[in-house]
Structure 1
Amino acid sequence: MGTDSRERMVRSAAYLFRERGYSGTGFRDVIAHSGAPRGSIYHHFPGGKTQLAEEAVRYAGDFLNAGIQAAVEGGDAASAVEAFVTWWRQVLIKSEFRAGCPIVAVTVESHEEAPQLAAASAAAFGRWQDTLATGLENAGVPEPRAVRLATLIVAAVEGATILCRAHRDVRPLDEVVAELKDLVRAAATGP
């Protein structure tokens, strides 16, 4: 019952939350999806499903943040937006619009008895916003505007992802991306 089994369970939980939500995903689902031994879930996650979800949120947040970081290193703000959205677009199409953001799934189902889930979600979204804001600043957007635009980008992309799932079409995401790219280009070139 090594760390490989633990990592598989965390990845599986994040994957399953994307399609089934937090409440719709049980330990049995995670065990079946990950192929981990039955008794390993409580061994690795003595804090139960809340601990597993918290770690899955961190994993998903870090995974996407690495992609955002790579995208913003090019210094082109519009390309960074495009790269941030490309992954979401692929997930939506590949899952036939069944999968969304695992962090959103956990966030909307967070409960008062597990405040660490909301905190983990806020931290993941905050990292994305910070990474995007830094990239926007490096592309020439003034710091206060870069912070606001980063918040707008994360909120708009997450909202567009939900609309895509509802409509079973990537058009809402494509439309949001086109507007965001125009905004960040204008912000990077100045008034």
Structure 2
Amino acid sequence: MMNVIIVGMGTDSRERMVRSAAYLFRERGYSGTAFRDVIVHSGAPRGSIYHHFPGGKVQLAEEAVRYAGDFLNAGIQAAVEGGDAAAAVDAFTGWWRQVLIKSEFRAGCPVAAVTVESHDEAPQLAAAAARAFGRWEDTLATGLGNAGVPDGRAARLARLVVASVEGATILCRAHRTVEPLDDVVNELKTLVAAATED
């Protein structure tokens, strides 16, 4: 899915490298992706990566996390504007389902990959991931709130959606089936529907 975006958006080498890094992190992880991999995948000139990212791999990863967070958040925002609580869940989970199937369960979340592998050596990466997760939660909470879920409950449910889907994505990759995600989505929709009726 993200490789379609890489081809379809702009030609600026810096942007291509950011998108390529996000794509590669979701399949290979942070530590499994080298600068040379990003150069080959993006088709950017060899020396340009050091020019655009003088802060090294950490700077590139921070930009890739921001890009991935913004990309998915835009999809969630578009879907939740109608005030349908189930659409808020579908907006977040439908994209992951496609990514898993199209990648034959090789791809996961680039934000999670960077979070898990960044540790204490690059605290700015954990902070970038927290911002991405936080935006998804805020956007989902807004959609749930628009559907009638009280604010405090909407925020908690939004966090539950993000945490559940991230975990389900890992289970899907391990089992090589979307069944864990489908099960989680069904349960989340039940919870969300009940919350709108309270």
Q: TM-score, normalised by structure 2?
A: 0.94
Match of 1:141 in 2: 149
Q: Deviations over 1:75-124 (max 9, x none)?
A: 10112101211100000000000000000000000121211000000000
Residue 59 of structure 1 and its aligned partner are, at CA, apart by 0.1
Instruction: Specify the code of the residue in structure 2 equivalent to 1:26.
Output: A
Q: Distance in 2 between matches of 1:42 and 1:3?
A: 18
Instruction: Specify the code of the residue in structure 2 equivalent to 1:74.
Output: G
CA RMSD of aligned residues (A): 1.1
Report the 3-state secondary structure (helix = DSSP H, G, I; strand = E; otherwise coil) of the residue aligned with 1:25. coil
Residue 30 of structure 1 and its aligned partner are, at CA, apart by 0.1
Identity %: 85
Residue 3 of structure 1 and its aligned partner are, at CA, apart by 7.6
Residue 53 of structure 1 and its aligned partner are, at CA, apart by 0.1
The question of 1:102 aligning with 2:110 is answered yes
Q: Deviations over 1:51-82 (max 9, x none)?
A: 00000000000000001111111110112101
Q: Distance in 1 between matches of 2:66 and 2:106?
A: 21
**Worse-superposed segment, 108-117 or 124-133:** 108-117
Match of 2:34 in 1: 26
Match of 1:186 in 2: 194
Report the 3-state secondary structure (helix = DSSP H, G, I; strand = E; otherwise coil) of the residue aligned with 2:119. coil
Match of 2:95 in 1: 87
The question of 1:35 aligning with 2:43 is answered yes
Q: Distance in 2 between matches of 1:111 and 1:38?
A: 28
Aligned pairs for 1:4-83 within 5 A: 4-83=12-91
Q: Distance in 2 between matches of 1:43 and 1:143?
A: 45
Report the 3-state secondary structure (helix = DSSP H, G, I; strand = E; otherwise coil) of the residue aligned with 1:123. helix
Instruction: Specify the code of the residue in structure 1 equivalent to 2:195.
Output: A
Q: Distance in 1 between matches of 2:121 and 2:29?
A: 18
Instruction: Specify the code of the residue in structure 2 equivalent to 1:65.
Output: N
**Corresponding residue pairs, total:** 189
Instruction: Specify the code of the residue in structure 2 equivalent to 1:135.
Output: G
**Worse-superposed segment, 54-63 or 181-190:** 181-190
Q: Distance in 2 between matches of 1:48 and 1:61?
A: 20
The match for 1:170 among 174, 178, 182 is: 178
Aligned pairs for 1:105-116 within 5 A: 105-116=113-124
Change (3 A) 1:55 1:3: farther
Report the 3-state secondary structure (helix = DSSP H, G, I; strand = E; otherwise coil) of the residue aligned with 2:32. coil
Report the 3-state secondary structure (helix = DSSP H, G, I; strand = E; otherwise coil) of the residue aligned with 1:89. helix
Q: Distance in 1 between matches of 2:139 and 2:88?
A: 10
Q: TM-score, normalised by structure 1?
A: 0.97
The gaps in structure 1 that reach 5 residues or longer are: none
Q: Distance in 2 between matches of 1:131 and 1:11?
A: 22
